[in-house]
Chains A and B, each alone.
Chain A
């Protein structure tokens, strides 16, 4: 008894900062300090990446562009999964966008500032129409359809030799300058991230989240969930199609590799590491994974081994994701208090 009294015991107390009102994304701000407190974590990455692009050597500028493409794919994946559609085939949307841009440029000789917007919209429409018959499927069944489709399209192109067959379409028009590439993709990425975050938080976006949480209850509220799912699919696939079209012009090439598993797996891995359901988490995950795999390139084929190990450790050790963890730490005050 005396021992317990002489030794002081502490516990960690965690308190949310007092600026949250009603929900996670509505705040009651009373001072500039609090406004800056919210603005900082949003401004720093935007400004930081724009600045970093200036100082990076050419090679890492290219890595930055690739990273942004994967980050957009991951954001789009997270958006789809927020709407209850688990996609294992971002490569489908990506590939459709890429082939559309490639075909428009190669066969119709359209300039680059036409092909990218057209491929974005047209790719979104095509992907949505392809997936319309299975829009009723849920969960893992929808996931398997999306996993199979890019594989099938790849084999179909290989077998029928349309659109360049195994060779692909080469010699497409490039971007005028590296700066155009970087500005373009950074703008696209931030627009997709903040636009979708705002969209999900709106009343209209709430319906999408409610479909994920309980689709039958949503139906019972008199909402046509198929129309909403199709819209979500269109938005998500438009973003991926944009990435595809961008990548096509970046490498001046489109071909079977655009349906590769890499484009499906990496966004999911990024979301799993970064934290699902936040849209910013997958972006963070992509910005960890892609440069990391680039750093490990000198290890040759051992690179994928490290990569897989990191993935396993992250998924097992931090199941909620990095972003959830960071934002919790940022939004709460911790202090040690004495236990009486």
Chain B
């Protein structure tokens, strides 16, 4: 159970990282995130099953495609309504509706839509049998974290990301184009979502409805951890991951969703910026 809690946490963290990156850098709450997650799954599936691409190539292609989609989503839609929070939320949510319902209309429903696992077989850890795929999720989670850390601290682009997150106007005067960087952060956020989808989806089938669930999961992890804080996301995904696994084992699986929702409520009421969010006490409440 300890192991499953760990895996659950890693899944949550992977899902939340992409959402968190976009929000942390450009301040856009990307409500189309769940849709992008699902779309990535279907694109990979189409590459493998219809065009018979090798697995690695189709995964890489999907990530790049979805990333480009994210950049253009920013350029054509979000750039025009930047700063109007309600409009941003409505626009991204509407985009997500369009994507998901279009997929449903085309008929991507059924059990045959599932991605193959990377490695077959299972491993025994502490008396529990665990699929190799689930272990891979943990490994990839750590890998992504490490890559993100290196990227934001040691590359020019990554430093520009952090610059516009801190002070957009000053970074403009230093020759950083906030719109360009924000569109890149949107693209990277989407690409991370696609990556998460490719790693996590082999565990089950790809369904359109999971798009909405992914969004709620990513949101709850980000809120509890503190919007825009990467380290907070890790801690929050552990807390929520273990809390969900515990309630599912000891009480009833009906209550798993309630646990994460209650966690959000408590955090919002007590410390709205989340566990490790930036301290902006007066921004949050009066």
Identify the A interface with B (CB < 8 A). Answer: 86, 133-134, 136-141, 144-145, 148-149, 151-152, 155-156, 158-159, 215-216, 219, 225, 265, 268-269, 271-272, 276, 300-302, 304-305, 307-309, 311-312, 315-316, 319
Contacts and interface: CB of A to CB of B under 8 A. Distances in A.
8 contacts: A139-B284, A152-B258, A155-B261, A215-B286, A271-B86, A304-B98, A309-B98, A315-B94
B169 interface: no
B258 A301 contact: no
A141 B91 contact: no
B219 to A, nearest CB: 8
A139 B285 CA distance: 8
B91 A316 contact: yes
Given A137-B284, A269-B90, A316-B80, A305 B105 contact: yes
Interface of B: 29, 77, 80-81, 84-87, 90-91, 93-98, 101-102, 104-105, 216, 219, 223, 252, 254-255, 257-258, 261-262, 264-265, 268-269, 272, 282-286
Contacts of B269: 133-134, 137, 145
A311 B268 contact: no
Contacts of A315: 81, 87, 90-91, 94
Given A276-B86, A302-B105, A319 B81 contact: yes
Nearest to A158: B254
B264 A304 contact: no
Contact of A152 (B80, B91, B252, B262): B262
Contacts, number: 117
Contact of B285 (A141, A151, A268, A269): A141
Given A215-B286, A225-B286, A268-B86, A148 B264 contact: yes
A304 B97 contact: yes
Nearest to A147: B219
Nearest to A211: B286
B185 to A, nearest CB: 19
A134 B266 CA distance: 10
Among A138, A269, A308, A309, which residue has the most Cβ atoms of chain B within 10 A?
A308
B79 to A, nearest CB: 9
A222 B104 CA distance: 55
B86 A272 contact: yes
Given A305-B97, A305-B98, A137 B268 contact: yes
Q: Give chain A's interface secondary structure class.
A: helix
Given A268-B86, A316-B77, A219 B286 contact: yes
B91 A149 contact: no
B266 to A, nearest CB: 10
Q: Give chain B's interface secondary structure class.
A: helix
Among A271, A272, A302, A312, which residue has the most Cβ atoms of chain B within 10 A?
A312
Contact of A145 (B91, B254, B268): B268
Contacts of A158: 254
A312 B77 CA distance: 8
Contacts of B95: 308, 312
Contact of B261 (A152, A307, A309): A152
Contacts of A159: 252, 254-255, 258
A175 to B, nearest CB: 33
A307 B99 CA distance: 12
Nearest to A273: B90
Contacts of B216: 151
A219 B102 CA distance: 49
Contact of A138 (B94, B264, B285): B285
Among B219, B223, B257, which residue has the most Cβ atoms of chain A within 10 A?
B257
Given A86-B86, A141-B285, A319-B84, A151 B261 contact: yes
Contacts of B91: 311-312, 315-316
A273 to B, nearest CB: 9
B105 A301 contact: yes
A84 B7 CA distance: 41
Contacts of B262: 152
B285 A155 contact: no
Nearest to B87: A315
B99 to A, nearest CB: 8
Contacts of B105: 300-302, 305
A302 B107 CA distance: 11
Contact of A305 (B77, B101, B252, B286): B101
A136 B285 contact: yes
Task: Enumerate the 4 nearest inter-chain pairs by beta-carbon distance, A residue then B residue, closest first.
Answer: A308-B98, A308-B97, A311-B94, A159-B254
B123 to A, nearest CB: 34
A305 B268 contact: no
Contacts of A312: 77, 91, 94-95, 98
Nearest to A151: B261
A300 B106 CA distance: 12
Nearest to A88: B89
Given A301-B105, A312-B98, A316-B77, A138 B261 contact: no
A269 B97 CA distance: 13
Given A145-B269, A305-B101, A305-B105, A137 B90 contact: no
Contacts of B29: 140
A272 B268 contact: no
Contacts of A268: 86, 90
A316 B90 CA distance: 10
Given A155-B257, A265-B93, A308 B284 contact: no
Contacts of A276: 86
